[in-house]
Amino acid sequence: MNPVEKSPAADTAHKHRSAYGLDGLGLSGYRKAYWNLSVDEYYQEALFREEGVKTKHGALVVKSGERTARSANDKFIVKEPSSETDISWGEYNIPYQEQDFNRVFEKMNSYLKGKDLFIQDGIAGASPEHQIPIRVITTWAWQGLFTKNMFITEEAAIGGQDFKPEFTVLSFPDFQGDPKEDHLNSETLILMDFAKRLVLIGNTGYGGEIKKSIFTAINYYLPKKKILTMHCSANVGKRGDSALFFGLSGTGKTTLSADPNRKLIGDDEHGWDDRGIFNFEDGSYAKVIDLSPEAEPDIHKCTRTYGTILENVILDPETGEVDLFDDSITKNTRASYPLKCIPYSLPSKRGNHPENIIFLTFDANGVMPPIARLSHDQALYHFISGYTSKVGGTEAGVGEAPELTFSACFGAPFMVFHPAYYAQLLKENLRKYNVKTWLLNTGLVGGPAGVGKRISIKHTRAILTAALDGSLNQVDYQVDPWFGFEVPLVCPGVPDRILDPAASWSDQEAYQKNITELLDQFKKNMKKYEDSTPPEVLLAGPK
């Protein structure tokens, strides 16, 4: 970009400016601020600044830089009086000094000299009673469009010039921190201050850091109001029967909730209040590596839609076509698009209290059944455990092979309070609304990683359909001797042998060894939570 050349949206940069400007935050020295641009204007600015390339079908292909996944080890939370005693400090909630945060903020402010800013205002939360006005301020135009895709940004919803944010994200992808002076783990930083209601992001352009920073903030503010915040997707059937799908990235939240026979509420983050469930976002950030039009036609169509951002996807410059099977940059390729791109998405982004909750686990050991029915105590045990696997580059440092992990609440990196806090809110809702809970394995069968194969998506969908339409309420079950939960003996459209994980192993001795080792991992992990977990929940774990 030529600094002297006039940018496409220069004349309309202040047209949608909020009366609550940047002075209150203390930002100064920047060259020009572009406020709440239209999709067309964001496109023009991104192309003008050579941040991306338009595909043949209209999507915008961009690169996030060196960081192509979340940088969990670079996320810190300021330890300050108003929130210090609330936060469960540890691996994902690393304490940070307030004076260091203030110094980094001043450095970022100085960094802005002569640079342009893009400000996108929005609303997080489809429930009018529990909405959080958010603002994202970034130096990259495409990240403004990303924010516009992911949150409620219509002028009528945000209030136009009267908009005042309650939480702000500064995302400066080219700004580098000083590990030594700023007490960081690297030059990358995600610094959260709940008292200031502010997040600082530097040295990463990965769009997921913006959305997950806002989600982390939601996980702090709303549970204080007794609202259960959840890392899950949600949809609703023709009877008004809502379903929730908990799981880490790569376990099937987006794929399985995108069902043409049900209305999509959202694919990643939701709240549950006394009226029902509601989405926090207005868009999807779907993983698109190996995405095919046959397996996922609706999501695939979104990758060929104007307004969609394709992050780290490979584009052929001659044909203008993208290759969704090319992982030369990362396996964690992403598409950001508004939910309205999915034809069966629900405009209200709200649903009734769920009838079914599904915990999605990617079992890298290949020993878990495809589905199991859980008692409420078992549901709480598995919610606190969060057994699954990290899949294909979704977090910095994760390789190609799935890595066994326990992620409390199926979203530990984004949860601020102790898992028991969220579990108690879930417990109250499970009992109050008599919710059926299931554990659905979308991982391996027939052996561990390198030996077993991922369970067929055809069989997974058939099993899920049977659980949601009530068919699995009409069949016989057997109690699993290892975990104590109930496993159906039959399921419509699924061979009986598929329901028995041991039957798919050629080496039964190896099967016994692997499941015994997994049980030991469960027990070892739960020791971290023994003091805060009710005895009846502890007893609901593996035998």
70 belongs to the catalytic site: yes
Clarify whether 67 is annotated catalytic.
no
What pLDDT, on a 0 to 100 scale, did the predictor assign at position 337?
Answer: 98
pLDDT at 171: 98
Identify whether 68 is a catalytic site residue.
no
Whether residue 537 contacts residue 430, with contact meaning beta carbons closer than 8 Å, is answered with no
Instruction: Report how far residue 359's alpha carbon sits from residue 411's, in angstroms, rounded to the nearest whole number.
Output: 12
- Give the whole-angstrom CA distance, residue 31 versus residue 220: 34
The one catalytic residue in 188, 254, 388, 442 is 254
Does 231 qualify as catalytic in the annotation? yes
Among 121, 182, 268, 282, which one carries the catalytic annotation? 268
Q: Is 249 a catalytic residue?
A: yes
Strand 94-96 and strand 75-78: pairing?
A: parallel
In angstroms, the Cα distances linking 491 to 21, 67, 92, 466, 486 are 58, 43, 39, 7, 13
135, 196, 253, 376: which one is catalytic? Answer: 253
Which residue among the candidates 67, 331, 334, 382 is catalytic per the annotation? Answer: 334
pLDDT along the chain (543 residues), means of 10: 78 93 93 97 98 98 96 97 96 97 98 97 96 98 98 88 95 98 98 98 98 98 97 97 93 91 96 97 95 92 98 96 97 96 96 98 93 97 93 54 88 95 97 97 89 90 96 96 96 91 91 94 94 93 89
| pLDDT (0 to 100) of residue 211 | 97
The pLDDT assigned to 398 comes to 46
**Residue 115 falls in the annotated catalytic set:** no
**Identified catalytic residue from 16, 17, 70, 130:** 70
Report residue 28 as tokens: 């100064």
- Write down the catalytic residue from 212, 350, 418, 436: 212
Give the type of residue at 284: S
| Per annotation, catalytic residue among 139, 229, 249, 333 | 249
Cα 123 to Cα 134, 149, 355: the distances in Å are 6, 12, 28
The helix (H) or strand (E) run that includes residue 142 is: helix 141-150
pTM of the model: 0.94
Active site residue 532: no
